[in-house]
């Protein structure tokens, strides 16, 4: 990506509150881009369950092609109860994107936002700031939709490859280095596995350890996933970067979201070698869709991650500055009393977006 060129963002709002939260995030991005002089263009692409219902196609090839060609993708959420492919499978173009673009690193920050209630009473929980790094292309999802099922048994495959584990581990250590710089302390990467029971995880651990040796400036450790579930409740403020297998990461990131206010506060990024998709960790929330109640914070924070990633890809320092400012504006809005309905407040999607815009 050449510095100074216009950065092209593909926006895939999707279904339900996906449309509401992406609109809110764009309303924040626009003044932010202006203020920092970011050359940004956005293009909205159709995909999702509603599009399938209306046009007979969930993910038009043209949408995929444009998403692939964009510098980054901002996604809402996709899928809707009652709208499925004729064979009964769920409509999930976001998974197609993840697999087709090889987005192996699922970045799920868990950070306590000032003023937003956290699930734990211990005052140290206010300092929670760690990142779950979910491998997103293999693990227990390897045989997704292709497992073997007979009348008497069902079998799925767990796959861990050296190539992907090395990439995920390097990603983890680099992320820890950048966080160490920002947070002013030594970085620590903890692989979450089940190496005591599965050979696949012992293999993952060995590959991880090989990469760890390349990063003497960052501490490395291992933790069994069951112990991690316990320790995420007992002492989550001690963790930094937690790379893990696909299914473990899926589960732990929902637990992480629960620690810091719920899905509406959980941003995410799915990153590959050359592409990235940024989206809130939540789904389309049919129960609140169309009511203006959705919390846009997760999407706004995902947009901040997108700007930061673009900066790391050569878009220029103003993108990194804008990312920091956006995160600060979110924090400031909640610190000043913004309360969205998911945490018992009365500030809906528009009010939340406005409060965040005011801090820019």
Q: Supply the DSSP string of 36-95, one letter for each residue.
A: HT--EEEEE---SHHHHHHHS-SS-HHHHHHHHHSSEEEEEE--BTTBB-TTS-B--HHH
Please report, as residue ranges, which positions from 193 to 232 form the binding site for ligand ATP (by CB under 6 A): none
7 vs 305, which CB is nearer to ligand ATP?
A: 305
Three-state secondary structure call for residue 148: strand
Size of the site for ligand ATP (CB under 6 A): 16
Question: Which tokens go with 202?
Answer: 């012992």
Tell whether residue 48 is a contact of ligand ATP (CB under 6 A): no
Is residue 285 near ligand ATP by the rule CB under 6 A?
Answer: yes
Task: Name the minimum Å distance from CB 295 to ligand ATP.
Answer: 4
> How many contiguous H segments (helices) and E segments (strands) does the chain have?
11, 12
Task: Indicate the residue among 118 and 211 with the shorter CB distance to ligand ATP.
Answer: 118
**Which is nearer to ligand ATP, 187 or 261 (by Cβ)?**
261
Binds ligand ATP by CB under 6 A, chosen from 277, 288, 355, 360:
288
Pairing of strands 267-271, 105-111: antiparallel
> Rounded CA gap, 10 and 74, in Å?
6
Tokens of 293: 């109640």
The least distance separating ligand ATP from the CB of residue 258, rounded to whole angstroms, comes to 10
Distance of CA 43 to the CA centre of its chain: 21
Stretch of 65-73, 291-299, 300-308, 352-360 contacting ligand ATP, by CB under 6 A: 291-299
The residue range among 140-148, 236-244, 267-275, 282-290 that interacts with ligand ATP, by the rule CB under 6 A, is 282-290
Q: Which is nearer to ligand ATP, 17 or 323 (CB)?
A: 17
Task: Report the residue from 11, 168, 294, 352 that binds ligand ATP according to the rule CB under 6 A.
Answer: 294
Q: In this structure, what DSSP letter does residue 6 have?
A: P
| Residue 113 near ligand ATP by CB under 6 A | no
Shorter beta-carbon distance to ligand ATP: residue 50 or 215: 50
Find the residue with minimal CB distance to ligand ATP: 283
94 touching ligand ATP, by CB under 6 A: no
125 binds ligand ATP (CB under 6 A): no
283 near ligand ATP, judged by CB under 6 A: yes
Of residues 191 and 298, the one with the C-beta less far from ligand ATP: 298
CB of 1 or CB of 263, closer to ligand ATP: 263
In the numeric block, the tokens 């789904």 are attached to 283
Rounded Cα distance, 225 and 72, in Å: 32
Nearer Cβ to ligand ATP (245/250):
250
Give the footprint of ligand ATP on residues 245-264 (CB under 6 A). Answer: 263-264
State the Rg of the chain over Cα.
20
Cβ–Cβ under 8 Å, residues 202 and 165: no
Judged by CB under 6 A, which of 14, 46, 48, 79 binds ligand ATP?
Answer: 79
Residue 18 near ligand ATP by CB under 6 A: no
- Terminal CA-CA length for the chain: 26
What single-letter DSSP state applies at residue 219? E
| Strand intervals (E) in the chain | 7-14, 40-44, 72-77, 105-111, 129-135, 148-149, 154-155, 188-193, 219-224, 241-244, 267-271, 276-280
Question: Under 8 Å CB-to-CB from 131, ≥6 apart: which residues?
Answer: 107, 108, 109, 110, 175, 179, 240, 241, 242
Least distance from ligand ATP to the Cβ atom of residue 347, Å? 11
Binding site for ligand ATP (CB under 6 A): 17, 21, 77, 79, 263-264, 282-285, 287-288, 294-295, 298, 342
């Amino acid at each position: 990506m050449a510095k100074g060129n216009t950065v092209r963002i593909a926006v895939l709002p999707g279904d339900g509150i996906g449309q509401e939260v992406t609109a809110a995030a764009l309303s924040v991005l626009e003044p932010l881009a202006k203020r920092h002089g970011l050359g940004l263009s956005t293009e909205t692409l159709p995909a999702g369950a509603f599009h399938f219902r209306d046009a007979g196609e969930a993910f038009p090839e043209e949408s995929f092609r444009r998403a692939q060609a964009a510098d980054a993708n901002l996604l809402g959420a996709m899928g809707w109860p009652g709208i499925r492919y004729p064979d009964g499978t769920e409509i999930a173009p976001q998974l197609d994107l993840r697999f087709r673009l090889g987005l192996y690193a699922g970045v799920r920050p868990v950070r306590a936002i000032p003023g937003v209630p956290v699930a734990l009473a211990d005052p140290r929980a206010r300092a929670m700031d760690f990142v779950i790094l979910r491998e997103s292309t293999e693990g227990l999802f390897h045989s997704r939709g292709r497992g073997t099922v007979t009348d008497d048994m069902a079998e799925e495959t767990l796959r861990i490859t050296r190539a992907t584990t090395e990439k995920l581990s390097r990603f983890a250590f680099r992320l820890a280095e950048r966080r160490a710089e920002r947070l002013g302390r030594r970085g620590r990467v903890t692989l979450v596995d089940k190496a005591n029971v599965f050979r696949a995880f012992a293999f993952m651990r060995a590959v991880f350890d090989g990469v760890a040796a390349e990063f003497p400036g960052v501490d490395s450790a291992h933790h069994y996933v069951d112990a991690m579930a316990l320790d995420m409740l007992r002492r989550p403020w001690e963790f930094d970067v937690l790379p893990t297998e696909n299914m473990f990461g899926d589960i732990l990131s929902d637990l992480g979201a629960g620690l810091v206010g719920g899905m509406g506060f959980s941003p995410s990024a799915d990153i590959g070698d050359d592409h990235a998709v940024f989206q809130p960790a939540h789904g389309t929330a049919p129960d609140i869709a169309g009511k203006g109640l959705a919390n846009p914070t997760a999407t706004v924070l995902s947009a901040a991650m997108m700007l930061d990633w673009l900066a790391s890809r050569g878009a220029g320092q103003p993108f990194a500055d804008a990312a920091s400012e956006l995160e600060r504006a979110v924090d400031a809005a909640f610190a000043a009393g913004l309360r969205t309905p998911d945490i018992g407040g009365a500030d809906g999607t528009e009010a939340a977006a406005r409060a965040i815009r005011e801090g820019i």
